[in-house]
A and B are shown apart, each in its own frame.
Chain A
Amino acid sequence: MLDYPVGVAIKEIINENSNVKTFVLDAQLDAKPGQFIMVWIPRIDEKPFSLSKISGDIAITVQKKGKATEKMHEMRAGEVLGIRGPYGNGFDAGKARSACIVAGGIGAAPLVPLAEALQNPEFILGARTKNDLLFEERLKKCSELYITTDDGSAGEKGFNTQVLERLLGEGEKFDAVFCCGPEPMMRRVFEICESHKIPLQASLERFMKCGGLGICGQCSVNGIRVCADGPVFGNEMLKKMLEFGNSARLKTGRKVPLKEYAEWRQK
C-alpha cells in the first residue's frame, strides 16, 4: 500500500470567487463522488479535501481559511502539492431515481460530481451571498437547480433547508437526499429527512491526522471514524452519532461545542 503523499503538479487554477479556488491536479484517480484525498502542502500542513472533479484530471476546491489554505491560494500552476488517497466510502448513488441534493457553501464541492453522476437530480445550492455561490454553471447543466442566499443577493432569500421542506410539503417524493455543508445545516436536513422517512447520505468533516488510515481516532464521532467509516453516513449511523451537530474534537483531541470547533478551523 502506498499511503504517503506523492508530489503532483498543479495543472490549472480556477478562481471560483474571491475566496475559493479550484486546483486541477496532474493526477487521475479511480474514485467515487464523496471520497476525499489528503493534500500535503510541503512544510506547511496536510489536510483532507473531497474531490470536486473526478473524471480526467482530478480537482479539489479550496476555501481560503487558515494558514494552509492561504498558502495554497498563493500557489501557481506548475507548483507541487502532495496527494494520497482516495479515502472514505463516498456517496452511494446506486439506487437513487429521484434524488435531492442539498449543498451549503464549500460543501458543494463533493456534491457536483455526484449531481453529474445522477439523472437530473434536484439541487438546492445555498450560500451566504451571491459571491459565495459555487459551480452554478456546472450545476445548471446536470440538475434542476434552486438557489438560496442568506442575504437574498441571488435566488431565494433564506436557507437551503427551507427549500427542501417546501418541496416536500408540496408533495415531491425523493428516494434519496444527499447533503454536505455546515453541520448545523446538515443536522437540520437530517431532522427533515427523519420526519419524512427519506434515506439521507450526509458527508461529515472532522480534523484528521492519519486521514483515511483509520488508526488515530482523531476524527471519531461517538467512536465512529469519519475518515474510515465515513465520511458519508446514512440515517442509522447519524442517529448513533450524538455529537453530530453538537461537538467535535480539536487538535489536542479535546471535545468542544461545534461553534468553538468551527471558530478554531478558521485559524
Chain B
Amino acid sequence: MLEVDLCNLRLKNPTILASGILGVSRELLQRVSDSGAGAATIKSITLNPREGHHNPTIIGFEAGIMNAVGYSNAGIEEAKKEFADLSGIKIPIIASIVAEKPEEFALLAGEIDSLHQFSAIELPLSCPHTPGFGLLAGQGTPEATSAITNAVREKTRLPIFVKLSPNVPGIGELAKSAEKAGASAITAVNTLGPGMLIDINSRKPVLDFKCGGISGPALRPVAVRCVYDVYESVKIPIIGVGGILTGRDAIEMILAGATAIGIGSGIYYRGMNIFAQVCREMEMWMKKNKVKSLEEIRGQAHA
C-alpha cells in the first residue's frame, strides 16, 4: 500500500532517513533500516576530513532543532572503508556529497559511483551555516546549481537528488535549473534560516557558530509550501523533507506533491521507531479514506 517508485528505486514505503542524522556508520544505517525506513541517506561527505564547528553544534528549542554542525565527516577515503559493503542492508542507501567547487563534486561522485554500494547521490547545495559550502558559497543560485548538477551528471548514471534551500526567492526556478542540468529528483528542503538563540544569563549566542539552520516543526509549513511550489515547476519527483513527525504530516507532503518523504529531526521527537509509526499512521488514514496507493493522492492539493 505504501510502496513507491522513486527514480526507478523501489521503496517499500516513502520514508527516507534525511542526511545529517545518524548516517555516519554502516551499523547505524542498518539500524535505521531495521527500524522500518524505506531508504536512508548518509551524512554528507567531503573530499578531506572535517571537524566541523565547535560545540554547541546541535540544540533543541521550543519549536524545533537548530544546528551548525559544519559538515564534520571523516572524508571520502574513510567513507570508502565505512561504506565498502552495504549489501546486508536491504533498503536503498543514498550517498550525500558536498564540495566547494563543481570539479570536486564530480570527483566525489565518481568515487561514490565506483563503490557500487549506493542507489543514488544527493547534492545538498543549500546548507545555511558552513563557510565554503551551500548558501554561504553561493551554491543556491540557478547558475551554480546547474553547473554542479551538470558536473556530477557527467560522472555518474546514478539518480541525482538535488537538495534545495527554503531560503531562496524562487525555489521553483531553482528546481527547474536542477532538472534541466540532469537532476533526477528534488529534495526539498534543507534547514531554514539561519536562526540564533542567545542565552540571557551569559548573554552570548548559544551555538558556537552563533547561528544555525532550523529543522523540525518550525520548518514544516515552509517545507510544505516549497514542495508545493517545486511540484508546479518541474516534472521530476520530489522528496519532501522538513519537520515530518506523523503520518498526517507525511500525507500532507504527498498532497503537496512529494513522491517520498524525509525524516530527520523527527527521531529526536519520536525515537528510531518513527519510521514504522509514520507508516502505520499513513496506512490508517489511507484505509479510512479508501485510498489504495499514494499515487492516487500525490499532488492533489493542486487540483
Contacts and interface: CB of A to CB of B under 8 A. Distances in A.
A209 B60 contact: no
Given A82-B206, A209-B72, A45 B54 contact: yes
B22 interface: yes
Given A252-B50, A254-B49, 10 more contacts: A40-B55, A40-B56, A42-B202, A82-B202, A210-B57, A210-B58, A223-B30, A251-B72, A252-B73, A253-B24
Nearest to B77: A254
B217 to A, nearest CB: 11
Interface of B: 21-25, 27-28, 30-31, 43, 49-52, 54-62, 65-67, 69, 72-75, 78, 82, 197, 199-202, 204, 206, 208, 264-265, 267-268, 271
A9 B28 CA distance: 38
B contact face: mostly helix, strand, loop, or mixed? loop
Interface string A214-239: 11111010110000000000000000
Contacts of A2: 60-62
A29 interface: no
Contacts of A21: none
B69 A216 contact: yes
Contact of A220 (B24, B54, B58): B24
A4 B59 contact: yes
A211 to B, nearest CB: 8
Contacts of B27: 220, 222-223
B22 to A, nearest CB: 4
B161 to A, nearest CB: 21
Interface in A187-224: 208-211, 213-218, 220, 222-223
Given A223-B28, A252-B72, A6 B61 contact: no
Given A2-B61, A223-B30, A252-B72, A217 B24 contact: yes
In order of increasing CB-CB distance, the 5 nearest A-B pairs are: A7-B201, A3-B60, A223-B27, A46-B55, A254-B74
Interface string A70-81: 000000000010
Nearest to A45: B55
Given A2-B62, A220-B24, A253 B199 contact: no
A84 B200 CA distance: 15
A213 B25 contact: no
Nearest to B26: A223
A37 to B, nearest CB: 13
Contacts of B25: 217, 220, 223, 255
A80 B201 contact: yes
Contacts of B82: 255
B142 to A, nearest CB: 32
Given A217-B24, A217-B43, A7 B31 contact: no
A14 interface: no
A198 to B, nearest CB: 28
A239 to B, nearest CB: 15
A80 B202 contact: yes
B234 to A, nearest CB: 30
Interface in A34-75: 38, 40, 42-47
Nearest to A38: B56
A76 B22 CA distance: 38
A213 B60 contact: yes
| Most chain A CB within a 10 A radius of its CB, from B75, B197, B204, B271 | B204
Nearest to B49: A252
Most interface-central of A45, A47, A213 (chain B CB within 10 A): A213
B110 to A, nearest CB: 22
A31 B106 CA distance: 50
A68 B55 CA distance: 11
8 contacts: A40-B56, A82-B202, A218-B24, A220-B27, A223-B27, A223-B31, A252-B78, A253-B24
B150 to A, nearest CB: 30
Contacts of A214: 267-268, 271
A7 B74 CA distance: 33
Contacts of B61: 2-4
A196 B206 CA distance: 48
A249 B61 CA distance: 27
Nearest to A81: B202
A213 B24 contact: no
Given A2-B61, A5-B56, A216-B22, A251 B51 contact: yes
A211 B197 CA distance: 18
Interface string A105-134: 000000000000000000000000000000
